[in-house]
Structure 1
């Protein structure tokens, strides 16, 4: 135990870029760094140093879930401080080796998706905005509400496609349906969405009927690999993170195959800023089983082997940080309700997940990028500049 405490103190001396107070299991308290600490980390029990060194994010994540570690202050700031310290063992990516390769069969993909999204619509309704959009929002101003920013994002995507009324749209991984509903109502598109989540499918099916859009919008409980029709436009938001490293080429090949000649696709997803930076064993075990966040160069290389042309690449990292911070505030506001229905361990798990993701975007470990692509042979009717996007954005 004495050796473990000595080792902890040696590690903590270099772990944080901002001052942090550590209270050890025996009551000993040490502040690392100069100035007022951003948070106090309390170890209620000793965690063997061998576990910490073998798999630190999984060990600490589970310790926080189980109440072995408590944090008084901003968990997000603690994680940012650890990421930003050049000498911390959390700096950069060292954890890709802990995530096993997975086959990502259709059956496995459905099981992975349902383990996260089929927790229950009532759970997500507690802290998402009324659009039930569970992806990065787009803040045109600092004062936009989350609901406004989510509609901004949907319209920003649809505006980029340069779609015309009456054309067809496929949304791969359609979530709770705000994009396909908006595409039909505001843009006159014939929209189709696919999802592997039963809860999402039921929710969207009900929305379609309530909006009277049965002749214009369809949703299917189906793997994207089972879609056979082709479309004028394709969108996919927060989807490629779920397909796995081994399936990325197949995913983008499917996008190409399902897109009509001269069609446009908008693919929106999280990328790692460093090789393996988006791989975390704790998130893979508890939050997104089967998930993999690719490096930007990895995606570009895959797309360049397909008959697709990049037309625009837009990073939105700060937008996702802000989105997650609002989600965290919303989640904290319903703490008692979540603990009552799901238990404290579940609450602590999701609290850590939301704040850790916000910290990853804030520190620059990961980004979220919108890729606008077209499929030849020609795109003669596409505008020459981005002006058409922002003119349409500002018209709403």
Structure 2
């Protein structure tokens, strides 16, 4: 009975492309919509069929991790391309029901108190750093690269990203005090100190990231100009000339936006500048995919630009510049997927096969979210005073201060 219901669901669901489904017992059904990608799907048992009927947004990923759902005659990317493209046009009934419930509960799901924030960060960012070295660039940039021409290598795109954001900070004199909120493994902070003569404080809740960032500062001879602290953004008490935050805002939670921007405003000197770089969504407020929330980024949420801007306005900050990046993150993740695939055996030795399938699924759905589901990156430049930045944007496109080495060539420094 469950297979009959799933058959009807797929017949209603597939409006673009073609999906061949191999049901338990050997039955094959073909679903064809308008022109689009093609894929095949094998389902191992009735339990998986029932799970897909009930909550596909969660259960597709879980079944792939368990090995009870597999692509047939195609790649995982091909399969998820068909599914994610179609879900944007017509969500399955189970997803509509559970999605509505998740939206109602999203304030609770994103209630990232200090205790929960620490636990959530540890879940993903305190994984063995060797995992990230296997697929990131040598500078360990775990955020969207910038591809001005589209032909950049991963290392070049990440260097271009850092320079572009640094230019928006308008570091107009040597020795400016910069706060890096959510500093990761320290790459941006080290770049600002080395190439822009800034005095940088980086804060993170990840013990693993803190250890590596401090190690890198010592190895680069920059520990006198960069310091890293295990500190929540709510505990920031000093004022800074500049504040940068890259890929951290997704972990704040909508209910905590007022506290976040109030804290940032208080930490910014009257003539200071803040630049916020975050993942966002085109279609307006929504919810985090439940599989991503459970297995990858618990408590995470990529907001609509309107949600962020509204919180900025209520905090009494000037929004002096907003830039949208569309396919840059899709290109970045495509590089990560290729590098992860090339080192999959090493990752399996670190963890296991189930972990590898989980991480593959995460990278594929993330790339496709930017290609077919309206995800984007936005950068907000924020100030307290109206005249804190020049009248035009020309300063944002000044020449790069120094040549940035190919960080993949100095990866040994990070070991």
Aligned residues: 392
Tell me what 2:7 maps to: 9
| 1:365-380 equivalences in 2 (<5 Å) | 365-376=374-385, 378-379=387-388
Q: CA separation of 1:96/1:376 partners in 2, compared to 1, >3 Å: closer, same or farther?
A: farther
Q: CA deviation at 1:138?
A: 0.5
Tell me what 1:152 maps to: 160
Match of 1:347 among 356, 372, 391: 356
Cα separation, 2, equivalents of 1:134 and 1:48: 33
Q: CA separation of 1:394/1:87 partners in 2, compared to 1, >3 Å: closer, same or farther?
A: farther
Cα separation, 1, equivalents of 2:229 and 2:100: 34
Q: Is the 8 A contact 1:18 1:37 kept in 2?
A: yes
TM-score normalized by the length of structure 1:
0.93
Cα separation, 1, equivalents of 2:43 and 2:276: 42
Cα separation, 2, equivalents of 1:159 and 1:42: 50
**What RMSD over aligned residues (CA atoms) do the two structures have, in Å?**
2.2
Q: Is the 8 A contact 1:96 1:279 kept in 2?
A: no
TM-score normalized by the length of structure 2:
0.89
2:247 corresponds to 1:238: yes
Q: CA deviation at 1:37?
A: 5.8
Q: Is the 8 A contact 1:201 1:220 kept in 2?
A: yes
SS in 1 for 2:212: helix
Tell me what 2:390 maps to: 383
Tell me what 2:17 maps to: 18
SS in 1 for 2:327: helix
Cα separation, 2, equivalents of 1:377 and 1:352: 45
Cα separation, 1, equivalents of 2:353 and 2:49: 26
Q: CA deviation at 1:82?
A: 2.7
2:180 corresponds to 1:181: no
SS in 1 for 2:26: coil
Which structure 2 residue ranges, 5 or more long, are not aligned?
Answer: 404-415
Which structure 1 residue ranges, 5 or more long, are not aligned?
Answer: none
Cα separation, 1, equivalents of 2:203 and 2:150: 33
SS in 2 for 1:179: helix
Tell me what 1:170 maps to: 179
2:101 corresponds to 1:97: yes
Tell me what 2:313 maps to: 304
2:307 corresponds to 1:313: no
Q: Is the 8 A contact 1:31 1:37 kept in 2?
A: no
2:77 corresponds to 1:76: yes
Q: Is the 8 A contact 1:96 1:276 kept in 2?
A: no
Tell me what 2:408 maps to: none
Tell me what 2:340 maps to: 331
